[in-house]
Chain A
Amino acid sequence: MAYSDKVIDHYENPRNVGTFGKEEDDVGTGLVGAPACGDVTRLQIKVKDGRIEDAKFKTFGCGSAIASSSLATEMIKGMTLDQAAEIKNTQIVEELNLPPVKIHCSVLAEDAIKAAIEDYKKKHQR
């Protein structure tokens, strides 16, 4: 299968790889997927005044899964939590030119954003 240049770029130079302290108050962590399915993404957000100040990810998965989550961290930086929650996987599909068999990779990235936001909100409900 041929990969789009954008997938290759994100795969070779992934943006925002890393880890925030999961326990920190301003961090939300989303861990989605399953090793048995061949892809797991952990996406983390650092929030200040309702805005995503920084984001980091790590992904176990194919090149398209890595590229999708790398792109997702770029997209959400600077967004409010509500804006980030609105991101649809189709935006990622379009941006990366993902073929139909790789759409699930973009879904994983969308789920990871939502899970991270939820985790952050849960921490701040108390």
Chain B
Amino acid sequence: MSLKLPLFMDNHSTTPVDPRVLETMIPFFTQQFGNAASRNHVFGWQAEAAVEHARTQVAALIGGDGKEIVWTSGATEANNLAIKGAASFYKKQGNHVITVETEHKSVLDTCKRLEREGYEVTYLRPQKDGIVTPEMVTAAMTDKTVLVSIMLANNEIGVVQDVNAIGAAIKAKNSKCLFHIDAVQGAGKVPFDVNASKADLVALSAHKMYGPKGVGALWVRRKPRVRIDPIIDGGGHERGMRSGTLAVPLIVGFGKAAELAKEEMGAEAIRLAALRDRLYRGLSKLPETYVNGTMDPAHRLPGNLNISFAFVEGESLLMALKDVAVSSGSACTSASLEPSYVLRALGTGDELAHSSIRFGIGRFNTEEEVDYVIDLVVKSVEKLRSLSPLWEMHQEGIDLNSIQWTPH
């Protein structure tokens, strides 16, 4: 079998649509194209039936009920709706929200906005391995805390939180405090259940699980009923929580993607973890490489490897890997010129943050691709180290911290 380049190993950024998903979507563009809100003709009824079916498929993936699904444009909107919607609705009960420094920007920036509007937000710093303990969460809770928002799995370092233990601890301390879980990276990859985790709100995205871009969902608990204020007003779709005509083909695709994820997650996780471990073994033959986040398999997404190659700058390494799509926590790859805030929160030095590469192995990656990547990365790191003054100094036993650097 020959390798097809460029190859994609950045499955945390997005995933290709599974051909089985695409197949279910196509009729809804040209034939069953009705508006799911049209109550008076067959086109509308077909669309509505398809949307309702997709609700049960997506809800089933996380152990919920189809009636609890609110369709959104994606996970960014779902996180915004959960946090702003709940904070607004429960304003009278309190103005304190708890989240974690390593959350996705759609959670952090939403919390920052709440702060500007007078709410108080606590940003928990995780342990060095990326894990947040239930004790950290409950220690930050006050009688004003109305919402805790914690992600199931991290998009950069793949660390999976013990949301079941965290949910239990939150509810034991204050059964009225809501628990929102950003499950975008974890759902369909690792076991997750809304009841086991005592979640009240759960954000999901289709395109991280081999569905189409442009659709997500917020699961909103019905028993006991969780209320949120909408952030988009209009025709009162989605029980008033999110107005706007439903993107039927995308929703149908999301449903199928969730169904496939539920069926295949067990076998796929084993295969991906084996590929990831193979990649890790191959790359850790290089000296001075450091994994970011815990490598405990119970606490890491099976397809994730985030690793720093000391004394090599991440973007220069990406340049050498031009036929391989991966990403880096280096500042040079971001608009802000700051290295990854996730790695910073873990206490990873900026040097190592600049040297980090994130590999995201997915459904369509093969062992042959992993071997190709190992070979290319090892060669490239060796070449770039031969160009690196820091590597040379390290080899000579010079302590880089002893040098007076000139930051610019």
Other A-B pairs beyond A36-B405, A37-B408, 4, CB < 8 Å: A17-B387, A34-B405, A40-B389, A58-B387
- Give chain A residues whose Cβ lies under 8 Å from the Cβ of B389: 31, 40-42, 58-60
Instruction: Check: B56 CB closer than 8 A to any chain A CB.
Output: no
Instruction: Check: B50 CB closer than 8 A to any chain A CB.
Output: no
* Shortest CB distance A41–B (Å): 7
- Flag if B332 contacts A62 (CB, 8 Å): yes
- Give chain B residues whose Cβ lies under 8 Å from the Cβ of A53: none
- Give chain A residues whose Cβ lies under 8 Å from the Cβ of B350: 35-38
Other-chain residue from B316, B349, B405 in contact with A62 (beta carbon distance below 8 A) = B316
Given contacts A36-B349, A40-B389, A60 and B313 within 8 Å (CB-CB): yes
- Using a CB-CB cutoff of 8 Å, which residues 12-70 of chain A contact chain B? 14, 17, 19, 31-42, 58-63, 65-66
Interface size counted on chain A using CB atoms at 8 A? 31
Given contacts A62-B315, A62-B330, A35 and B400 within 8 Å (CB-CB): yes
- Flag if A108 contacts B408 (CB, 8 Å): yes
Interface size counted on chain B using CB atoms at 8 A? 29
- Using a CB-CB cutoff of 8 Å, which residues 351-371 of chain B contact chain A? 351, 354
Instruction: Check: B186 CB closer than 8 A to any chain A CB.
Output: no
- Give chain B residues whose Cβ lies under 8 Å from the Cβ of A39: 313
Other-chain residue from A19, A33, A38, A62 in contact with B406 (beta carbon distance below 8 A) = A33
- Flag if A33 contacts B408 (CB, 8 Å): yes
- Flag if A66 contacts B390 (CB, 8 Å): no
Given contacts A60-B311, A60-B313, A63-B315, A34 and B390 within 8 Å (CB-CB): no
- Give chain B residues whose Cβ lies under 8 Å from the Cβ of A32: 406, 408
Task: Find the residue from B314, B319, B389, B390 having the highest chain A CB count within 10 A.
Answer: B389
Given contacts A19-B392, A60-B311, A11 and B405 within 8 Å (CB-CB): no
Ordered by A's residue number, 15 sampled pairs between the chains whose C-beta atoms are within 8 Å are A31-B389, A36-B405, A36-B407, A39-B313, A40-B389, A59-B387, A60-B387, A61-B332, A62-B313, A62-B330, A65-B313, A65-B316, A101-B337, A104-B408, A107-B408
Instruction: Check: B388 CB closer than 8 A to any chain A CB.
Output: yes
- Flag if B316 contacts A11 (CB, 8 Å): yes
Interface residues of B, Cβ cutoff 8 Å to A: 311-316, 319, 330-332, 337, 339, 349-351, 354, 386-392, 400, 403, 405-408
- Flag if A60 contacts B386 (CB, 8 Å): no
- Flag if B313 contacts A38 (CB, 8 Å): yes
Task: Find the residue from A3, A8, A11, A63 having the highest chain B CB count within 10 A.
Answer: A63
- Give chain B residues whose Cβ lies under 8 Å from the Cβ of A8: 319
* Shortest CB distance A100–B (Å): 12
Other-chain residue from B316, B349, B392, B406 in contact with A61 (beta carbon distance below 8 A) = B316
- Give chain A residues whose Cβ lies under 8 Å from the Cβ of B403: 31
A62 to B337, CA, bound (A): 12
List of 5 A-B pairs having minimum Cβ-Cβ separation, nearest first: A34-B405, A36-B350, A38-B354, A42-B389, A62-B315
* Shortest CB distance B98–A (Å): 30
- Flag if A35 contacts B351 (CB, 8 Å): yes
A104 to B406, CA, bound (A): 13
- Give chain B residues whose Cβ lies under 8 Å from the Cβ of A37: 331, 350, 407-408
- Flag if B316 contacts A63 (CB, 8 Å): yes
Task: Find the residue from A36, A62, A104 having the highest chain B CB count within 10 A.
Answer: A62
- Flag if B405 contacts A38 (CB, 8 Å): no
- Give chain A residues whose Cβ lies under 8 Å from the Cβ of B407: 33-34, 36-37
- Give chain B residues whose Cβ lies under 8 Å from the Cβ of A35: 350-351, 354, 390, 400, 405
* Shortest CB distance A66–B (Å): 6
- Give chain A residues whose Cβ lies under 8 Å from the Cβ of B400: 35
- Flag if A38 contacts B339 (CB, 8 Å): yes
Name A35's closest neighbour in chain B (CB-CB): B351
* Shortest CB distance B292–A (Å): 16
Name B388's closest neighbour in chain A (CB-CB): A60
Other-chain residue from B314, B319, B349, B354 in contact with A11 (beta carbon distance below 8 A) = B319
Task: Find the residue from A39, A60, A61 having the highest chain B CB count within 10 A.
Answer: A60
- Flag if A34 contacts B387 (CB, 8 Å): no
- Flag if A34 contacts B337 (CB, 8 Å): no
* Shortest CB distance B50–A (Å): 41
- Give chain A residues whose Cβ lies under 8 Å from the Cβ of B312: 60
A58 to B388, CA, bound (A): 5
A37 to B313, CA, bound (A): 10
